[in-house]
Amino acid sequence: MFNFTLILPELFVLCMVCVVMLVDLFVEQRQQVLTYALTQLTLVGAAILTLCIYCIPTTANFSGLTVHDHLGSVLKLAIYITSFFVFLYSRNYFRQQNMGKGEPYLLGLCSILGMMVLVSAHNFLTLYLGLELMSLPIYALTALQRDKEQALEAAIKYFILGALASALLLYGLSMIYGASGSLDITQVANVIGANSTQHPLIFVFGLVFVVAGLAFKIGLVPFHMWLPDVYTGAPNAATLFLAVAPKVAVIGMTIRLLVECLPGLQVQWQELLIVISVLSMILGNFVAIVQTNIKRMLAYSTIAHGGYILLGFIAGTAAGYSAALFYTLAYAIMSLGAFGIITLLSKQGFDVETIEDLQGLNDRNPWLAFMMMLLLFSMAGLPPTIGFFAKLSLIEALVSTHFVWLACIAMLVAVIGVYYYLRVIKVMYFDKPLDNKPFSLAWDAKMAITINGLAILYFGIFPGALITLCQQLFWSGTMLN
Amino acid sequence: MTLLQFIFYVFSALMLLSAVGTIISRNPVHGALFLVVCFVASAGIWLMLQAEFLGLVLVLVYVGAVMTLFLFVVMMLNLDKLPSRAGFKKYWPFGILILLLLVGLMIYVVAPSHLSLASNAIAIPHPADYSNVQALGAVIYTQYVYAFEIAAVILLVAIIAAISLAFHAFHQDTKRQNISKQVQTTAAERLRLVKNMGKE
């Protein structure tokens, strides 16, 4: 019932948060080397602990508040790895842009702890607490550049709309709680499954608010308004942080809520998701075409990618869910690289904002330009990158469940999407640079971006291992119910 | 209508009206006071649900501490009236339409057929020696200890976030005490005698 071994990663991260806080406070250190090293060490340690307990079979822990299963472990590992790269990319940015001493690392670690709680939640209570623990530090991270008006505006918008989204989710969850009499995810699923012939309308009522809250958090049409403004206004390193790991965690929450808790209402949430997904794909891809700000363009492409991820949920089969998870992981690697390069290119007093800032990147640093090209190819879904296989497996899942029209729409808008990704590549390779100075990177950043870019290529050519892993997570028997 | 129902409707109406008042009042002090009323009314509803500890804590912590602090801040900021809402007139018909649609749909869905007293049994009243504090204490550190600890971490994050946002150590023009300089001061520096030139 109270198995502390299974929450070792969470305990470790929590202890390290306190250690990092005290070290940062009391140890005189130039440029926060120690804080940075300890933060990265925390992530490595948590990854090792998670791997150590990976093979323990699925168990509900702490009177059902949390669950230990493979899905949670895989999502946690994805969160650690992407966050490791995020801190690596943004280290210089934090130092140069006056974002405080150790605060960004500390807030980042707290947020990661929230994500870990969120993806292994098995009760509405822990789910909500994890969500809040994840979001609160990100709001502060966005506002950390206090002398930049744009960042403050983004933080306020993010905070208020994030609170609204939490309130919507909470309202829906409390309706489901009222109707089922339980907060436990398995028990709610059993209550709904027991009277499967006729669902009380109240469950559907709660479901609508839950889906609205989820769509808010993922950033899907018509709840997407905050996303471009926040991505544009936030400091580049904060954008990088909030674009990668929280996305993985929120998709994990969506799986917990829709697939594990409310499979009995699949017909109902399928209809809702179809509308949201189609609108997101179309609006995201079309509006991205006219953007001149690269962060804003990538923000709209995020909305479109969110729509694609939902396609896997719409298919409603194990193959569909695993395709959605595969797409999420692929998207995490892609956005990690793209926002990472934007962060790396930013220097003291100069933030990369517009697409023109990337002009002639090939002349200044050919390797970086090549990596960016790979990432953009992958986002567009061109072979031989991971983005191609991610889209392919989604379309496959859709066609096998007879959603051919939906697959056609997805393909069409993907083709339209190719245009704006290629435009950035054209600017990088065929336009003259504004500033002829060659751009050099520190060795660690160079290595990280190389691994990141080559991962896109590697998983694009040999996607088998990752796809099998995602499929195994949704085989019956591995889940708790 | 029983007496209990009457009390419930009074508190509910008070809560809804004060919540609306919080949003639409132009004077921030009035807004904060409306929020106090809202909290008190919801504390009343909790008392009716036999959750007396939660009701009292709501009054003590939120009304007594948080809202008082809030009022202090509002008064110190010296905001007389909020600037007029420029976009409000333009959007209100649309807003009212959406509001009516949403409320109408919600009433249709959770109509009395689903959430009436007839379809939901009234909770059995607890015996006179029932203690809400005991009931909470029995589960909060045992069954719900995981959630309780996470809530504590959220408070820690709130402290870290608030300090990192409010602490202006990196700015050059911040006015701060230099304690070592203060300690080393001499009597001559503390007091300067000035001859009063105005009178003789």
Contact of A123 with chain B, judged by CB distance below 8 Å, is answered with yes
pLDDT tens string A106-120: 999 999 999 999 999
User: The tokens of A360 are what?
Assistant: 């002639």
How would residue B108 be classed by pLDDT, with cut points 50, 70 and 90?
Answer: confident
Please name every residue paired with A67 in a beta bridge, in sequence order, or none if there are none.
A60
In this structure, what are the phi and psi dihedrals at residue A263, rounded to the nearest 5 degrees?
A: -65, -20
Note whether B164 contacts A98, CB cutoff 8 Å. no
Chain B residues with beta carbon closer than 8 angstroms to that of A14 = 153
Distance of alpha carbon A425 from alpha carbon A1, whole angstroms? 54
Terminal-residue alpha carbon distance, chain A = 17
Domain boundaries, chain A: 21-473
The SS3 call for residue B178 is coil
pLDDT along chain A (481 residues), means of 10: 89 95 84 89 96 90 91 95 95 84 92 96 95 95 88 93 94 90 91 73 89 94 92 93 95 94 90 95 94 94 95 92 95 95 84 85 89 94 91 94 93 92 92 80 91 93 91 68 45
In this structure, what are the phi and psi dihedrals at residue B81, rounded to the nearest 5 degrees?
A: -140, 145
Longest pairwise C-alpha distance within chain A: 69
Distance of alpha carbon A342 from alpha carbon B42, whole angstroms? 49
Note whether B170 contacts A98, CB cutoff 8 Å. yes
Please name every residue paired with A293 in a beta bridge, in sequence order, or none if there are none.
A354
User: The tokens of A308 are what?
Assistant: 């694609």
In this structure, what are the phi and psi dihedrals at residue B80, rounded to the nearest 5 degrees?
A: -70, -60
Burial class of A45 by CB neighbour count within 10 A (0 to 12, 13 to 18, 19+): middle
User: The tokens of A398 are what?
Assistant: 């859709």
Distance of alpha carbon B84 from alpha carbon B26, whole angstroms? 8
Burial class of A178 by CB neighbour count within 10 A (0 to 12, 13 to 18, 19+): middle
The SS3 call for residue A293 is strand
Looking at A258-379, which runs of residues are DSSP E strands? none
Rounded to 10 degrees, what is the CA torsion of A378, A384, A388, A389?
A: -130
Q: What mean pLDDT value characterizes chain B?
A: 84
Q: Which A positions 28-87 lie with beta carbon below 8 A of chain B?
A: 61-63, 65-66
Site from A6, A22, A111, A117 to mutate, B interface, most B CB atoms within 10 angstroms: A117
Contact present, A3 and A57 (Cβ < 8 Å): no
Residue of A nearest to B107 (CA): A205
Site from A13, A14, A99, A182 to mutate, B interface, most B CB atoms within 10 angstroms: A14
Q: What is the ipTM of this complex?
A: 0.90
Buried b (16+ CB within 10 A) or exposed e, A313-334: bbbbebbbbbbbbbbbbbbbbb
pLDDT recorded at residue A287: 94
Terminal-residue alpha carbon distance, chain B = 84
Note whether B157 contacts A107, CB cutoff 8 Å. yes
Chain A residues with beta carbon closer than 8 angstroms to that of B101 = none
Token pair 């008392």 in the structure block, residue: B47
pLDDT recorded at residue A440: 82
pLDDT tens string B19-69: 999 988 888 888 899 999 999 999 999 998 888 899 999 999 999 999 989
Contact present, A43 and A125 (Cβ < 8 Å): no
Please name every residue paired with A123 in a beta bridge, in sequence order, or none if there are none.
A184
Complete DSSP assignment for B16-67: HHHHHHHHH-SSHHHHHHHHHHHHHHHHHHHHHTT-HHHHHHIIIIIIIIIH
Element containing residue A375 per DSSP (H, E): helix A366-380
Amino acid at B41: A
pLDDT recorded at residue A481: 45
The SS3 call for residue A260 is helix
